[in-house]
C-alpha cells in the first residue's frame, strides 16, 4: 500500500534548503520602503511602481504620489548633497545601465547625461521647461527638502513628487545614487565620501492628503490593483470545498483520497497566507512578505502533489492494479518537476532584473518547466491509454474517461497561458496569470473531489476502505430471527444427544 505521508515528507525536505534561501529575501513589491543606505555602495535601487492613468476630471485624486523623508543618520557634514531620483522607463534605462561603469566619476556623467536635459535643478535648469525628477538629499531634519515648496509637501514629510500620466499607466523607478551636480559648472561628479542616509519613502496611487482613498488600489502598483478581490473569491470557494473534502476523507480512508486531501489543504493554506499578505499590504504598503513567500511555496507543493496524484491514477494504481509499476520513474519525474518549479520561483525573485517587464515563464527556468510539463503530458496520455486498454470494467472506464479529460485540461492550460501572456502588456499580465492559474486549479480540485466522492469512488477503487462491521454483526446476532434460529439448532442438537444416549444404553443392556 502506498504511503503518501512518506512522499509528502520527501517533497518538503527536498525543497527545504531553497525555501530557506527564499525566506530571507527582502521585499520586492512594497509601496512603502524604509532603511539605511551607505554612499560607499554608490547606487541603491528602492522601488518599481506602476502609476495608474490620471483621470483629468479628478486629477488631484488619481495621480501617483511619492512622499517621505531622507535624512542623515549621523551628524555628518556633507560637502555636497547626493541624489534621489524618480524616473519613468524612458529615462531610467540609460540611467540604470550606466551604474555599473567602473569609473564612478564617468558613471555619474553618463547616468545623468539624458536626465540633465529635462530634470528641474536649481540653478542649472531653473528657467527652462522641465520635469520634477530629482531631489538633493539628505534633507535637514524637521525641514522640507530644498526643491520642494512647503505648500505641496504631504504633511509630516520632507519631500513630495506628483506623477501625472494622462495617456496610459506607466512604471516609475525610485533610487539613490552617490552623485552630485556642481552648481557652478553644472557637471555631475562622484560623491567620494562615506556617509549613511536613512530613508522612509511611500509611493501610492491616489491623494495621500485625503482619507477616503480606495484601499484596493491606493497602496498597490497598477499591475497589482484589485488582486485582493481575486484572492478573496477563490478563498471563499475553498471555504466550501475544503470542509466537503474533509468530510469525504473521514468516510473513506483510502490513500488516493488522502493524497488529494493533502494537496487541497496545501493550496488552501497557501491561498490564506497570500490573502493575509495583500490585506495587510492594503493597509501599510508592506504586507507580510515572509508569509507571502510561504504561501507561494505551499502553492507549488500543492501543484506538484496534485500532479503526482494524476500520474498515479493514470497508471491505474488503486483502480486497475494494486501494485504500482515503474516507481523510480514516477517519483523521479515528480521530484524533478518540483525542484524545477521551486528553481523558477527563486530565479524570478533573485535573478530577473527589476527593470525587465517579463513574467516568470519568459526566463530559461520558465521555458524549462514548460518543456518538462509538455513531456509529462505526453507520458500521462500514454500511461492513461495503456491503463484503459488493460481495463474492461465499464464503470472504471467511465471514470478514466472523465478523469483523463479534466486532468488533460489542467496539464495543458499552463503552456497555452504562457504563450498568450507573452502578448499581454506588463500592466495586465500578472492579474491574467494569477486569475487563470487559480481558476484552473480550483476547477481541477472541484472535478477531482466530485470523482473521488465516497459514494462514487467505491465503484472503482480496488483498495476501498473496509469499514468496521463488528457493530452491525452484533446487531445481527441479536435479531429475533437469528436468536430463534440459534435456539432451534441447540434444541435439535440436544434431541440428537438424547437419542444417541438411549441407543448406547440399549446396546449395553
Sheet holding 43-51, edge to edge: 43-51, 170-177, 82-88, 134-137
Largest CA distance in the chain: 148
Supply the DSSP symbol for 338: H
Asked whether residue 484 carries a pLDDT value surpassing 60, the answer given is no
Q: Is residue 221 a contact partner of residue 31, using CB atoms and an 8 Å limit?
A: yes
pLDDT at position 209? 84
Distance (Å, whole) CA 19 – CA 427: 28
Distance (Å, whole) CA 448 – CA 460: 14
Asked whether residue 432 carries a pLDDT value surpassing 70, the answer given is yes
pLDDT at position 109? 94
Average pLDDT estimate for 230-250: 95
Average pLDDT estimate for 62-75: 91
Distance (Å, whole) CA 393 – CA 410: 26
Distance (Å, whole) CA 95 – CA 92: 5
Non-local (6+) Cβ contacts of 150 within 8 A are: 144
Q: Is residue 216 a contact partner of residue 282, using CB atoms and an 8 Å limit?
A: yes
Nearest to 398 by CA among 457, 343, 468: 457
pLDDT band with cut points at 50, 70 and 90 for residue 122: confident
Displacement of CA 162 from its chain's centroid (Å): 32
Q: How far is CA 358 from CA 117, 168, 307, 353, 361, in A?
A: 30, 19, 26, 9, 8
Beta bridge partners of 38: 196
pLDDT at position 151? 62
Which residue would you say has higher pLDDT here, 468 or 258? 258
Q: For a pLDDT cut of 90, what percent of the chain falls above it?
A: 50
Print burial letters for 401-438: b (CB count within 10 Å at least 16), e (below 16). eebbebbeebbebbbebbeebeeeebbebbbebbebeb
Main-chain dihedrals φ then ψ at residue 88, nearest 5 degrees: -85, 175
Non-local (6+) Cβ contacts of 27 within 8 A are: 33, 286, 287, 289
Question: For 218-238, how does the pLDDT look when each residue is reduced to its tens digit (9 = 90+)?
Answer: 999 999 999 999 999 999 999
Query: Sign of the CA dihedral 483, 485, 488, 493?
Result: negative
Distance (Å, whole) CA 281 – CA 277: 6
pLDDT band with cut points at 50, 70 and 90 for residue 29: low
Burial of 39 (C-beta count, 10 Å sphere; 0-12/13-18/19+): buried
Distance (Å, whole) CA 267 – CA 302: 5
Displacement of CA 308 from its chain's centroid (Å): 20
Beta bridge partners of 70: 199
Q: Is residue 379 a contact partner of residue 333, using CB atoms and an 8 Å limit?
A: yes
> In order of start, what are the domains of the chain with their CATH numbers?
32-205 (no CATH), 226-464 (1.20.1070.10)
Asked whether residue 198 carries a pLDDT value surpassing 60, the answer given is yes
Which residue would you say has higher pLDDT here, 386 or 323? 386
pLDDT at position 491? 39
Q: For a pLDDT cut of 70, what percent of the chain falls above it?
A: 83
Q: Is residue 430 a contact partner of residue 359, using CB atoms and an 8 Å limit?
A: yes
pLDDT at position 21? 38
Question: For 145-173, how does the pLDDT look when each residue is reduced to its tens digit (9 = 90+)?
Answer: 877 765 688 888 999 999 998 888 999 99
Main-chain dihedrals φ then ψ at residue 264, nearest 5 degrees: -65, -40
Highest mean pLDDT among 2-16, 128-142, 460-474: 128-142
Question: For 76-113, how does the pLDDT look when each residue is reduced to its tens digit (9 = 90+)?
Answer: 778 889 999 999 999 999 999 999 999 999 999 999 99
Distance (Å, whole) CA 94 – CA 493: 106
**Range with the lowest mean pLDDT among 106-110, 274-278, 505-509?**
505-509
pLDDT at position 463? 53
297: which 3 cell numbers?
Answer: 511555496
Displacement of CA 136 from its chain's centroid (Å): 38
Amino acid at each position: 500500500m502506498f504511503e503518501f505521508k512518506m512522499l509528502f515528507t520527501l517533497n518538503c525536505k527536498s525543497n527545504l534548503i531553497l525555501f530557506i534561501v527564499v525566506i530571507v529575501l527582502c521585499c520586492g513589491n512594497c509601496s512603502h520602503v524604509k532603511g539605511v543606505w551607505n554612499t560607499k555602495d554608490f547606487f541603491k535601487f528602492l522601488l518599481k511602481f506602476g502609476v495608474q492613468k490620471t483621470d483629468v476630471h479628478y486629477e488631484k485624486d488619481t495621480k501617483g504620489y511619492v512622499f517621505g523623508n531622507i535624512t542623515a543618520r549621523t551628524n555628518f557634514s556633507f560637502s555636497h548633497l547626493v541624489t534621489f531620483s524618480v524616473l519613468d522607463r524612458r529615462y531610467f534605462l540609460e540611467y540604470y545601465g550606466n551604474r555599473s561603469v567602473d569609473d564612478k566619476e564617468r558613471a555619474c556623467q553618463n547616468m545623468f547625461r539624458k536626465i540633465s536635459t529635462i530634470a528641474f535643478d536649481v540653478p542649472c535648469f531653473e528657467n527652462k521647461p522641465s520635469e520634477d525628477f530629482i531631489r538633493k538629499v539628505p534633507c535637514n531634519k524637521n525641514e522640507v527638502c530644498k526643491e520642494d515648496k512647503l505648500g505641496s509637501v504631504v504633511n509630516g514629510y520632507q519631500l513630495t513628487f506628483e506623477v501625472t500620466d494622462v495617456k496610459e499607466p506607466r512604471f516609475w523607478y525610485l533610487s539613490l545614487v552617490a552623485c552630485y551636480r556642481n552648481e557652478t559648472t553644472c557637471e555631475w561628479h562622484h560623491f567620494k565620501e562615506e556617509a549613511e542616509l536613512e530613508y522612509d519613502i511611500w509611493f501610492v496611487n491616489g491623494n495621500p492628503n485625503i482619507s477616503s482613498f480606495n484601499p484596493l488600489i491606493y497602496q498597490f502598483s497598477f499591475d497589482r490593483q484589485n488582486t485582493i478581490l481575486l484572492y478573496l473569491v477563490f478563498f471563499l470557494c475553498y471555504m466550501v470545498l475544503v470542509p466537503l473534502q474533509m468530510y469525504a476523507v473521514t468516510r473513506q480512508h483510502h490513500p488516493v483520497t488522502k493524497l488529494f486531501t493533502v494537496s487541497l489543504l496545501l493550496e488552501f493554506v497557501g491561498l490564506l497566507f497570500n490573502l493575509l499578505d495583500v490585506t495587510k499590504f492594503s493597509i501599510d504598503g508592506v504586507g507580510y512578505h515572509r508569509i507571502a513567500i510561504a504561501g507561494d511555496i505551499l502553492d507549488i507543493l500543492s501543484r506538484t502533489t496534485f500532479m503526482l496524484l494524476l500520474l498515479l491514477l493514470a497508471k491505474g494504481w488503486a483502480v486497475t492494479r494494486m501494485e504500482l509499476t515503474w516507481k523510480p520513474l514516477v517519483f523521479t519525474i515528480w521530484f524533478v518537476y518540483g525542484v524545477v518549479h521551486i528553481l523558477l520561483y527563486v530565479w524570478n525573485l533573485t535573478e530577473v532584473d527589476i527593470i525587465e517587464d517579463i513574467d516568470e515563464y519568459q526566463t530559461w527556468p520558465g521555458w524549462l518547466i514548460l518543456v518538462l510539463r509538455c513531456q509529462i503530458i505526453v507520458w500521462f496520455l500514454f500511461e492513461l491509454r495503456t491503463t484503459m486498454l488493460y481495463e474492461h470494467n465499464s464503470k472504471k472506464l467511465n471514470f478514466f474517461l472523465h478523469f483523463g479529460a479534466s486532468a488533460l485540461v489542467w496539464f495543458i492550460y499552463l503552456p497555452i497561458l504562457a504563450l498568450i501572456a507573452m502578448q499581454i502588456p506588463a500592466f495586465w499580465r500578472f492579474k491574467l496569470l494569477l486569475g487563470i492559474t487559480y481558476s484552473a486549479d480550483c476547477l481541477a480540485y472541484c472535478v477531482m473531489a466530485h470523482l473521488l466522492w465516497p459514494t462514487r469512488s467505491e465503484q472503482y477503487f480496488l483498495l476501498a476502505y473496509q469499514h468496521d462491521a463488528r457493530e452491525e454483526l452484533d446487531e445481527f446476532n441479536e435479531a429475533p430471527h437469528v436468536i430463534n434460529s440459534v435456539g432451534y439448532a441447540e434444541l435439535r442438537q440436544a434431541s440428537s444427544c438424547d437419542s444417541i444416549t438411549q441407543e448406547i444404553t440399549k446396546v449395553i443392556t
